[in-house]
């Protein structure tokens, strides 16, 4: 198989110096990329800004903003069999990016925000014969929100995890398939979870 994988955070700039982002380390996505290669498949990794070396044996594309990630994903998805969207993209961006550096005035400021492009939803809308696996990081109403994501974004499966996964070497996940049922639960090192996920995809989604 030829598998697209997204990893890490994205950044949305307020001005030329400051940006919005999150604390994602990218480790889960990178371990999945390694597991793809270890299983004998071709991996295409689209990574936001992380402090991790490129995994051996896969094609790596570094991006910064959510829009950049969307563009590269759409381009590469055409020649892949499926995508695993593990990136923690920034959901909002300033309506207007300021030029230079916003100066302190001693007064409160407000910044108008708009939603960024939904990378996973766009890939789900154009998947055709390909499969789509998303990640859902949820703090409240976890399964309900994951099911909404599964259906709204036309996923074949969703990996549900929680905030404890951020920056950690371990994770605890539930795999929800297209029927809305929890079909697998894994916990432990992210490398082991990644291997289990690729094995499940190879059995259940590979044509």
| Residues designated catalytic | 22
C-alpha span between 196 and 1 (Å, rounded): 16
Place of tokens 């398939």: 177
Residues 202, 136, 187: CA angle, nearest 5 degrees: 65
Sequence-ordered list of residues with C-beta below 8 angstroms from that of 121, at least 6 positions apart, any chain:
152, 153, 154
**Left, alpha or beta for 58 (phi > 0: left; psi -120 to 50: alpha)?**
beta
For helices 27-38 and 190-204, what crossing angle results, to 10°?
A: 50
């Amino acid at each position: 198989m030829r598998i697209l994988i997204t990893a890490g955070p994205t950044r949305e700039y307020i001005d030329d110096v400051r940006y919005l982002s999150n604390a994602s380390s990218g480790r889960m996505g990178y371990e999945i990329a390694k597991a793809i290669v270890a299983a004998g498949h071709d991996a295409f990794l689209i990574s936001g800004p992380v402090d991790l070396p490129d995994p051996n044996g896969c094609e790596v594309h570094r991006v910064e903003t959510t829009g950049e990630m969307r563009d590269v994903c759409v381009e590469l998805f055409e020649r892949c069999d499926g995508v695993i969207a593990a990136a923690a993209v920034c959901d909002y961006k300033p309506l207007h990016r300021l030029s230079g550096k916003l100066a302190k005035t001693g007064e409160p400021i407000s910044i108008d925000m708009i939603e960024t492009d939904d990378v996973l939803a766009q890939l789900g809308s154009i998947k055709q014969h390909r499969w789509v696996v998303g990640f859902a990081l949820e703090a409240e109403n976890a399964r309900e929100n994951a099911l909404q994501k599964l259906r709204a974004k036309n996923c074949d499966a969703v990996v549900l995890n929680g905030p404890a996964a951020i920056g950690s070497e371990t994770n605890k996940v539930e795999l929800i398939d297209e029927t809305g049922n929890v079909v697998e639960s894994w916990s432990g090192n992210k490398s082991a979870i990644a291997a289990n996920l690729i094995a499940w995809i190879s059995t259940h989604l590979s044509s």
